Amino acid sequence: MLAAVRSATVFGVEGRPVTVEVHVSTGLPAFQIVGLPDEACRESRDRVRAAVLSSALVWPSCRVTVNLAPSNQRKGGSGLDLAIAIGFLAAHGQLPVAQIEGLGFVGELGLDGSLRHVTGVAPMVAAMGAVRPVVPVGNYREAWCVAGEGVRVANTLREVVDALNADAPWPQVPDGEFVDDEPPLPDLADVRGQQVARLGLEVAAAGGHHMLLVGPPGSGKTMLAQRIPGLLPLLEPDISLQATMVHSAAGVRLPAGGMVQRAPFRAPHHSSSMVALVGGGSTGLRPGEISLAHGGVLFLDELGEFAPSVLDGLRQPLEEGVIRLARARASAALPARFLLVAATNPCPCGGGGPGDCQCDEAARLRYVRRLSGPLLDRFDLRVGVTRPCVDDLLASGGGEPTAVVAARVTKARQRALDRIGMVNANIPASYLDALAPLHQEARASLRNQLERDRLTGRGYHRIRRVARTIADLMEGDELVLDEHVQMALNMRVRLSISSRERGA
């Protein structure tokens, strides 16, 4: 007897449809899985057999062969357990084969026959196409995000079998409004002083400009960075879906509402490996931190402490918004369009004002050289952060709250989107003259900077984009004024002693 059940596995952030074919025949009792299963997949033999027996169903003494088609692709994970069990029951005649038409099964089985949630359900359901997915209860919202109302859930294998045999109705899907259980984001009102850095956050959020915060320890770099997600608008529907897929595939907890709607904030530690950051792994190509930050913020604290090779790995995705991972057997493109925010000390001792630094020049240079030039070049904003002064810390009133700033950011973003359909950070250089025309004085200021070798050609374009964003935030007209350019120049701190001499 033969049965075929639809299911899926996940690779990268994409689901891949898998047809589970089960053949039950007479012969020496055996249970084999073929079709390139990985270790977790092969072990499903034991789980499935135990779950079937625990669910008061029959496991006969005959030869059971499972084929995972297409059989030339590697399959990983435990999500195929349920499909294998259902396929066996149908092939053995314990379930009517006709009943499994039009359904897709995803889920891991416990030895007691319970159904456990698995990672990557959203992309799997998307890959299965026009079928009604049957998923563990814990995966309901994810599946619902993709398949809508047709999703079936179950707590145990027995419940699935009963429903398919029409002995009992399908269990109720979890209902009711899903309250947003995410903790509130930190508010900008908590930040005292730091006028320039606050403006920097606002500009970064409004224009999508990558930002480097440079300042001594205790100056509040991390605190500032954590407040950027609150300034970003909710994700666009398509980005939200992509972000949900990535979170699902990586097994990161999704918000109770199912969809990732808030801009994600990821802050990997500086000991993170290249694979942890960009994604990879021998089976399945798990999405890395940069993909989890898709649509949101990737915050790298202590930028200089990251391995240089890891940082250089960020350059291509920064440019393209996609990370293309290739392995010997497979390749995948994972979305990775994020706002890069990084923080670093100005020197090993942490520095401070002029004359406070106790580092010698060689140590200082060595420290700054760790940040490769090409990466530093990608930060439109390099904002100096200083320790707040005592008056600021003791003052009673905080600064503007996040809500006020976020409203300005949203407006400025809209202006930019109306203008050319992208955030200002992505304006191609050739469009700058049309989209960010300079006032005469602003042009003179920039010319002066260029002539004094304090600005490179690339820096010049970056300053103009940032100035465009500042003008948008200040609701100026389409002309970029000198004051906008000056503010932009002030948010481009030059690092290192040598660059002070040579111009950066």
Partner 1 sequence: MSTANPSVGHVSGSSVPPEAYVASLAGFRNMNVHRLGALLRHQSPQEAWQVALGQRPASGPIGKVLADSEVRSMWRRCADERPPAEIWARCVSLGLTVLPYGHDLYPAGLLDDPFPPPVLFARGNLALLAGRRVGIVGTRNATAAGRETARALGFGLAAAGVHIVSGLARGIDGYAHRGALAAEGTGRPIGIVASGHDVIYPREHRDLWEAAGNCGLLLTEAPPGVPPEPHRFPLRNRIIAALSEVVVVVESRERGGSLITAAQAVERDVTVMAVPGAIGKRASLGTNSLLCDGAAPVTGVDDVLTALALQHRHSAVIAADLRARPRGDDIALYRVVQQDPRTIDGVALAMGLTLVDSAMGLARLESAGWLAEADGWFECVGSPLR
CB 21 within 8 A of CB 53: no
Q: Which is nearer to partner 1, 48 or 473 (CB)?
A: 473
Question: Minimal distance in Å, beta carbon 315 to partner 1?
Answer: 25
Nearest to 186 by CA among 234, 228, 232, 221: 228
- DSSP readout, 398-442? ----HHHHHHHHHHHHHHHHHHHSS-GGG--GGGHHHHSPBPHHH
Shortest spacing between CB 403 and partner 1, in angstroms? 21
Q: How far is the CB of 449 from partner 1 (least distance, A)?
A: 9
Does residue 97 come out as left (phi exceeding 0), alpha (psi in the -120 to 50 range) or beta? alpha
**Closer residue to partner 1, CB minimum distance, 23 or 494:** 494
Q: Give whichever of 21 and 202 is closer to partner 1, judged by the CB atom.
A: 202
Q: Give me the least distance between CB of 424 and partner 1, in Å please.
A: 18
CB of 335 to partner 1, least distance (A): 35
Q: Are 20 and 66 in contact (CB under 8 A)?
A: yes
Query: Of 192 and 315, which CB lies nearer to partner 1 in the complex structure?
Result: 192
d(CA 298, CA 310): 14
* Residue 148 or 354 having the CB closest to partner 1: 354
- Residue closer to partner 1 by CB (options 216, 229) is 216
Quote the least distance from Cβ 458 to partner 1, whole Å.
Answer: 20
Sequence-ordered list of residues with C-beta below 8 angstroms from that of 388, at least 6 positions apart, any chain: 192, 193, 194, 219, 220
What minimum distance in Å lies between the beta carbon of 431 and partner 1? Answer: 26
Q: CB-wise, 132 or 370, nearer to partner 1?
A: 370
Rounded to whole angstroms, how far apart are CA atoms 86 and 369? 59
Per-residue tokens: 130: 């026009």
CB of 470 to partner 1, least distance (A): 9
CB-CB contact of 143 with 125 (8 Å): yes
Query: β-strands 381-384, 211-214: how paired?
Result: parallel
- Residue number, 152 or 387, with CB nearest to partner 1: 387
Taking the least distance from each CB to partner 1, the nearer of 320 and 356 is 356
Name the residue nearer to partner 1 (CB basis): 91 or 197: 197
Residue 447 CB, shortest distance to partner 1, in Å, is 11
Query: Mapping DSSP to helix (H, G, I), strand (E, B) and coil, where does residue 321 land?
Result: coil
- Give the number of other Cβ atoms within 10 Å of residue 180's Cβ: 12
Among residues 156 and 469, whose Cβ is nearest to partner 1? 469
Tell the smallest beta-carbon distance from residue 397 to partner 1 (Å): 14
User: Nearest Cα to 136, choosing from 114, 160, 154, 110?
Assistant: 154
Judged by the rule CB under 8 A, the positions of this chain that interact with partner 1 are: 193-197, 199, 214, 346, 351, 353-363, 383-384, 386, 389, 391-392, 445, 448, 482-483, 486-487, 489-490, 493-495, 498, 500-502
Strand stretches in 210-258, DSSP E: 211-214
Rounded CA-CA distance 364/214 in Å is: 14
Q: Which of 93, 63, 67, 92 is nearest to 80 (CA)?
A: 67
Residue 316's nearest CA partner among 282, 344, 288 is 288
First to last CA, the chain: 74
Least separation in angstroms between residue 376's CB and partner 1 is 14
Q: For residue 70, is the peptide bond before it cis, meaning its omega torsion is within 30 degrees of 0?
A: yes
